[in-house]
Amino acid sequence: MLAGADWLGDSVGSYADSKLFVTTLAATVARLRPGVLSIAVDPGWVPTKMGGPGAPDDLELGHRTQEWLASSDEPDALTTGGYCYHRQRQQPHHAVHDEAFQEHLLRTLAEETRTAL
């Protein structure tokens, strides 16, 4: 999957790929840096310029999760390594917690950016 990734964002599949990679990166940071709170957030498909006027999700709910994570003392908001949608923990794609995939992503990102984590 990473070998065919469109790092310049020119292909249709690049958006979905980028969401997987960002979620995997958040889980990897949580694993490698246990003292750092790292949580991926899905704001939903909201009506913005990017999402379009017909996007079915609630624009108001789209940012509430980030606010909750930044200000809450609830255990779900303080548990690193998660993936949240509308203030609820969700199960991400199985590859997100695959350590081999995480390491492969880190190596690929380091090569693309010339910056190691």
Three-class HEC string of 29-43: HHHHCCCCCCCEEEC
Residue 89 has a pLDDT of: 93
Catalytic pick from 19, 49, 83, 85?
Answer: 19
* Cβ pair 25, 116 in contact under 8 A: no
* Active-site residue identified among 15, 49, 83, 85: 15
Note if 85 is an active site residue.
Answer: no
Confidence (pLDDT) at 97 = 96
How long a stretch of residues is the chain? Answer: 117
**Euclidean distance between CA atoms 3 and 44, whole angstroms:** 28
Q: Is 15 a catalytic residue?
A: yes
Residue 59 has a pLDDT of: 86
**Strands, E assignment, 8-117:** 40-42, 83-85, 88-89
Q: What is the pLDDT tens value at each position of the chain, 117 positions in all?
A: 677 676 666 665 677 888 999 999 999 999 999 999 999 999 899 998 988 999 999 888 878 999 999 999 999 899 999 899 999 999 999 999 999 999 999 999 999 899 998
